[in-house]
Amino acid sequence: MRRLLFLFLFLILVPQLEAALNVAITSPVNGSCYAKGATVSVNVVYTCNQLGYSLLFKIDGEGIDSIGVDSKLGQQSHTFTWNASLSGVYGFTVLLFKSGCDSASDSVNVTVVSIESLSGPNSAPLNKNASPPPEYITGNLTYTATTNPSNTPCEAITWSVGGGGQTVSPSSANGILSYTTKFQTVGTKTITVTCGNSSKQFTTYVYGIIEADLKDEPPAGATYASGIDDTQIWVRLNDNTISPTLTSIDNGYRLSYTPAPNELNIPGTNTVKVSIKDKAGNQNSPNPATWSFTIGSP
């Protein structure tokens, strides 16, 4: 009788310790975005007061790394790392477990983004600006990036422009998939979009309008010139006849023409030839007057 009483009292006096199991991923938060090639730190806090438990990090159900945990009261922390070498959407799970016993887990989804392509205008003319300055400027030019996974903005996306002259800083497009600007200088503009170790470039050739002043000056010692015959003006661009705008100026006309991209060698050298006669039938010399300009690298 004494032995039974002792065992009964012992069972009453010794408390049964329940398992205290909790785990939470504190970062990244659900829906986070990373650039391809980034090193992702997975920060975890957990509570475990039992022996023999492990902390397991899984991606899309596959075990990546694990540690054994100490049996301690209070909250503890650990950081797993993972190299985001491939783009896609991934499910992160951290599991606090012991075979045959209770477990606890937490999960988040993250997206790894890479740049797949970049598109935009191949060329653009400088046009006269209605409200200078600047005197000449292009229209709005928009550059659009595609990503894997598709249509995924990410704060790791950055833009840059080589060649200068843009009116809108490319940093305004950081984190998004498109960049719109205008250019106010001619030249080769190289637009680059980057996300981690992936990037794409696109080149736009900005060219000016064709302008020339055509004047009929009096001969040496004379005070009179017959004036240019506006029906006797011939202009060719790359050996194709064009029809420029003529604006009256002192003793002549100002020729102005904005070529279409398919009229130009882009990139390459372009040649303009002009032949004119005055009202007395005299021909310009040399005939034709010729000049060339280059867009980009010939």
CATH number, domain at 36?
Answer: 2.60.40.10
Q: Which two tokens stand for residue 211?
A: 């302008």
Closest CA to 283 of 216, 236, 220: 216
Q: Which residues contact 144 (CB under 8 A, 6 or more apart)?
A: 118, 119, 120, 177, 178
Pick the last residue of a domain from 140, 174, 207: 207
User: Model confidence over 140-167: pLDDT tens digits?
Assistant: 999 999 999 999 999 999 999 999 999 9
Whether 298 shows a pLDDT value over 70: the answer reads no
User: Model confidence over 115-134: pLDDT tens digits?
Assistant: 999 999 999 999 888 787 88
Query: In the predicted model, what is the mean pLDDT of the chain?
Result: 89
Dihedral (Cα; 42, 48, 54, 60), 10-degree rounding: -40
Number of structural domains in the chain: 3
pLDDT (mean) for 206-221: 86
With tokens 């001969």, the residue in question is: 219
Cα–Cα distance measured from residue 211 to residue 153, given in angstroms and rounded to the nearest whole number: 43
Closest CA to 235 of 156, 162, 291: 291
pLDDT for res 131: 80
Give me the domain span that covers residue 235.
210-295
Sign for the CA dihedral angle at 121, 126, 129, 135 comes to positive
Same domain, 177 and 164: yes
Q: How confident is the model at residue 18 (pLDDT cuts 50, 70, 90)?
A: low
Cα–Cα distance measured from residue 67 to residue 57, given in angstroms and rounded to the nearest whole number: 9
Pick the last residue of a domain from 79, 113, 147: 113
Same domain, 88 and 148: no
Tell me the three state secondary structure of residue 109: strand
Whether 56 shows a pLDDT value over 90: the answer reads yes
pLDDT for res 176: 96
Mean pLDDT check: name the lowest of 135-144, 213-222, 233-242. 213-222
Same domain, 32 and 84: yes
Portion of the chain with pLDDT greater than 90, in percent: 70
Closest CA to 36 of 95, 84, 99, 68: 84
Cα–Cα distance measured from residue 110 to residue 175, given in angstroms and rounded to the nearest whole number: 16
